[in-house]
Chains A and B, each alone.
Chain A
């Protein structure tokens, strides 16, 4: 959860607060766009070198009119928002930070959570009547690695080829009437593979422990609306989770994933080359909606972008399962008793009846041993994680 650092605007000297999760801030007094400067300034008394590095800001205002520049990911040509002048900037290292704007407000998130509690199967009656306790907006950090990939994959693949062949009359497969018969012949053929690749590849990785929150990693298509993360842009009541890991680690993993061959060729000869690689940190909105129920608490995590249910936890309904299991055990015991009675009264097949009775009894009662009362139902959005 981000600590705020008090800094000074290099343009007007006004105090500026920059949370740890952000690299960009707009000066509330002069409107200059300020970025966290990686360079080092003279170390003040009582502070470390790292603190001196972190506490420096640099203005990225327009050299023509001093207006704010439209800072964009991966762009080295920035446009002034005031006069439209384009400015070329030096090469940037590191990564950029973006956030996905929340398209769902608190009441919509609570409404969607209530609908889920009422409709999801297996929940207790108390869970369905739970009372809303509160909702909190979280921003979950996710690493995104993007690259363009150019190259070729060569190799060979095996394919089944179907061919209709005519059989000789009177032969092994021929008809006795002398007419030519046809049969389907299947054979494995080897084909060359030469596939060109010039495409974008993306790799996503959670930058925080989503499981601690009970969430699963949301799906991203790469076409979501992303806004540059400026300090103060996010809801001040929201909780921004601290990002873990480094851009270099993500880039290495992403590159490894991107260079995985796509063709189905056996023993492929792969020549793939990544270019225009970039790493970004995306902050994803997620509502955590809490309910109070008679048998415990319910928690539903609602996707802050589209309102879908990411994950849900609520007390489970056990009564129905217990009744069904009890009935099953009773029936099994009754059948077993009947078989024992048959074995005891009849002279023939006595041993067989006893064995059958034991088998039926074990089959009927064994599920009781495995039965565990489920405290809660846990749901996670499919195809994510």
Chain B
């Protein structure tokens, strides 16, 4: 598999659903007929606290969705907070483990962090080495495809509603995914961050949780 833009070798694990060019950093996914190049984004580290340990860039699908739900539901309250923009749903794209998808997805959705995004996977962040899965590479392989993310955004949405309501007995909603972006967000592995599935997200909005 070679990059459609520069001809460089595409990297990714055996379970990967997104392949990254080791030369130019372009992201490719499998379409119906073959590989399709698409834009991926890298978020800058905005934390104001000290960072310990190696920084990983975790992939997330930032989902743009249309939700029709009851006016007093958690999503509607969040929408009023983020108005005039609609909130995004975040689906972790590096793991299929339930606690990771649920905790990290809910926390990012709840926080709606400001992301200072730059296009592509910056090779300099990886020290010129972009082979995904390599210990020296901070970019974590993407194992959740775009289609999977569209299903999992229902899971994250319901997790968000369940997290925000104490005695939820039913959820009446209609969710339609409109589009999504692949965003790599910096984080460090920290087992004390159990509410973020052991990852400390290196964004300003998460600083008070650390402090």
Q: Which residues of A contact B (CB under 8 A)?
A: 75-77, 86-88, 90-91, 148, 150-152, 154-156, 192-194, 196-199, 269, 271, 273-276
Quick one: closest A residue to B165, CB to CB?
A: A194
Asked, given contacts A194-B162, A198-B96, A273-B151, whether A87 binds B1 with beta carbons under 8 Å apart, the answer is: yes
Instruction: Please tell me which stretch of B27-35, B124-132, B182-190, B201-209 contacts chain A, meaning at least 4 of its Cβ atoms lie within 8 angstroms of it.
Output: B27-35
Whole-angstrom distance between the alpha carbons of A198 and B10 in the complex? Answer: 30
Quick one: closest B residue to A271, CB to CB?
A: B158
CB-CB under 8 A from B35, the residues of chain A are: 88
CB-CB under 8 A from A154, the residues of chain B are: 162, 168-171
B98: which of A77, A87, A193, A198 is its contact (CB, 8 Å)?
A198
Least Cβ–Cβ distance between A150 and chain B, in angstroms = 4
CB-CB under 8 A from B151, the residues of chain A are: 150, 273-275
Let me know if A156 and B32 touch, CB within 8 A: no
A76, A194, A274: residue with the most chain B Cβ atoms closer than 10 Å: A194
CB-CB under 8 A from B167, the residues of chain A are: 192
Let me know if B1 and A77 touch, CB within 8 A: yes
B158: which of A88, A148, A151, A155 is its contact (CB, 8 Å)?
A151
B147: which of A150, A194, A196, A275 is its contact (CB, 8 Å)?
A275
Whether, in the assembled complex, B152 has its beta carbon less than 8 Å from a beta carbon of chain A, the answer is yes
Whole-angstrom distance between the alpha carbons of A86 and B12 in the complex? Answer: 10
Whole-angstrom distance between the alpha carbons of A378 and B159 in the complex? Answer: 51
Let me know if B30 and A152 touch, CB within 8 A: no
Let me know if B98 and A196 touch, CB within 8 A: yes
CB-CB under 8 A from B34, the residues of chain A are: 88, 90
Least Cβ–Cβ distance between A206 and chain B, in angstroms = 30
Whole-angstrom distance between the alpha carbons of A375 and B1 in the complex? Answer: 65
Scan residues 81-116 of chain B and give those whose CB is less than 8 A from a CB of chain A. Answer: 96-98, 101-102
CB-CB under 8 A from B33, the residues of chain A are: 90
Q: Which residues of B contact A (CB under 8 A)?
A: 1, 10, 12, 14, 16, 19, 30, 32-35, 96-98, 101-102, 147-148, 151-152, 154-155, 158-159, 162, 166-171
Whole-angstrom distance between the alpha carbons of A274 and B150 in the complex? Answer: 11
CB-CB under 8 A from B166, the residues of chain A are: 192
Let me know if A150 and B152 touch, CB within 8 A: yes
CB-CB under 8 A from A269, the residues of chain B are: 169-171
Let me know if B169 and A273 touch, CB within 8 A: no
Whole-angstrom distance between the alpha carbons of A192 and B170 in the complex? Answer: 10
Let me know if B159 and A196 touch, CB within 8 A: yes
Let me know if B159 and A156 touch, CB within 8 A: no
B35, B102, B168: residue with the most chain A Cβ atoms closer than 10 Å: B168
- 5 pairs of A and B residues whose beta carbons are closest in the complex: A269-B170, A198-B98, A150-B155, A152-B158, A275-B151
B33, B152, B170: residue with the most chain A Cβ atoms closer than 10 Å: B170
Quick one: closest A residue to B154, CB to CB?
A: A273
Quick one: closest A residue to B148, CB to CB?
A: A275
Whole-angstrom distance between the alpha carbons of A53 and B160 in the complex? Answer: 50
Least Cβ–Cβ distance between A88 and chain B, in angstroms = 5
Least Cβ–Cβ distance between B159 and chain A, in angstroms = 6
B155: which of A86, A88, A156, A196 is its contact (CB, 8 Å)?
A196
CB-CB under 8 A from B102, the residues of chain A are: 196, 198
Let me know if A152 and B162 touch, CB within 8 A: yes
Whole-angstrom distance between the alpha carbons of A325 and B196 in the complex? Answer: 71
Let me know if A192 and B98 touch, CB within 8 A: no
Whole-angstrom distance between the alpha carbons of A91 and B166 in the complex? Answer: 43
CB-CB under 8 A from A151, the residues of chain B are: 154-155, 158
Least Cβ–Cβ distance between B114 and chain A, in angstroms = 28
Whole-angstrom distance between the alpha carbons of A77 and B98 in the complex? Answer: 26
CB-CB under 8 A from B152, the residues of chain A are: 150, 198, 275
Whole-angstrom distance between the alpha carbons of A198 and B33 in the complex? Answer: 29
Least Cβ–Cβ distance between A16 and chain B, in angstroms = 27
Whole-angstrom distance between the alpha carbons of A208 and B166 in the complex? Answer: 50
Asked, given contacts A150-B155, A151-B155, A198-B102, whether A276 binds B148 with beta carbons under 8 Å apart, the answer is: yes
Let me know if A199 and B158 touch, CB within 8 A: no
Q: Provide 9 A-B residue pairs closer than 8 Å at the C-beta atoms, listed in order of the A residue.
A: A88-B34, A90-B34, A150-B152, A154-B171, A196-B98, A196-B162, A198-B101, A269-B169, A276-B148
Whole-angstrom distance between the alpha carbons of A87 and B34 in the complex? Answer: 10
Whole-angstrom distance between the alpha carbons of A197 and B171 in the complex? Answer: 15
B19, B32, B154: residue with the most chain A Cβ atoms closer than 10 Å: B154
Least Cβ–Cβ distance between B98 and chain A, in angstroms = 4
B12, B19, B30, B32: residue with the most chain A Cβ atoms closer than 10 Å: B30
Whole-angstrom distance between the alpha carbons of A90 and B33 in the complex? Answer: 5
CB-CB under 8 A from A194, the residues of chain B are: 162, 168
